[in-house]
Amino acid sequence: MSENKSSHSEQPDGRDEERQGADPAEKSVVRSLAKGFAVLRAFTADRPELTLSEVGRAAGIDNATAFRLLNTLLMLGLVARVPGTRRFRLTLACLDLGFNAIARSDLRTLARPLLRELVGERIEAASIGVLDQASIVYVERIQAGLVRLGVDVRIGSRMPAYSTAIGHAILAFMPEAVQRAVLESAPRPKLTEHTLTDLDALLARLASVCSRGFAVSDQENVSGLRVLAAPVLDADGVPVAGLSVALPSFVASLDEFVAGTAAPVVAAARSLSRALQAGGNGALPAPLPRRQA
> What's residue 7's pLDDT?
41
Residue that is last in its domain, among 60, 75, 91: 91
Measuring CA to CA, which residue among 159, 199, 284 is closest to residue 207? 199
3-class state of residue 207 by DSSP: helix
Pairing of strands 225-233, 239-248: antiparallel
- C-alpha dihedral (251, 255, 256, 258), degrees to nearest 10: 100
Q: Is residue 118 part of a domain?
A: yes
| Other CB atoms within 10 A of residue 123 CB | 23
> What's residue 207's pLDDT?
96
Same domain, 111 and 86: no
Angle between the N-to-C axes of helices 63-76 and 31-42, in degrees from 0 to 180, rounded to the nearest 10: 80
Same domain, 172 and 138: yes
> What's residue 50's pLDDT?
94
Q: How far apart are CA 197 and CA 162, in angstroms?
A: 8
> What's residue 292's pLDDT?
44
Q: The CATH number of the domain where 19 resides is what?
A: 1.10.10.10
Same domain, 26 and 136: no
> What's residue 94's pLDDT?
73
Angle of CA points 116, 163, 179, to nearest 5°: 105
Residue pair 217/152 in contact by the 8 Å Cβ criterion: no
> What's residue 91's pLDDT?
86
Number of separate domains in the chain: 2
Q: Is residue 292 part of a domain?
A: no
Q: Whole-model pTM?
A: 0.66
Mean pLDDT, 10 residues at a time, the chain of 293 residues:
42 42 63 90 88 94 94 92 92 66 66 90 87 90 69 82 96 94 92 93 96 94 92 90 92 92 94 80 47 42
> What's residue 287's pLDDT?
45
> What's residue 6's pLDDT?
42
Same domain, 74 and 106: no
Amino acid at 142: I
Residue that is last in its domain, among 91, 113, 146: 91
- C-alpha dihedral (212, 214, 219, 224), degrees to nearest 10: -120
Same domain, 113 and 213: yes
Residue 243, H or E segment: strand 239-248
Give the domain range for residue 26: 2-91
> What's residue 98's pLDDT?
59
Q: How far apart are CA 2 and CA 10, in angstroms?
A: 12
3-class state of residue 253 by DSSP: coil
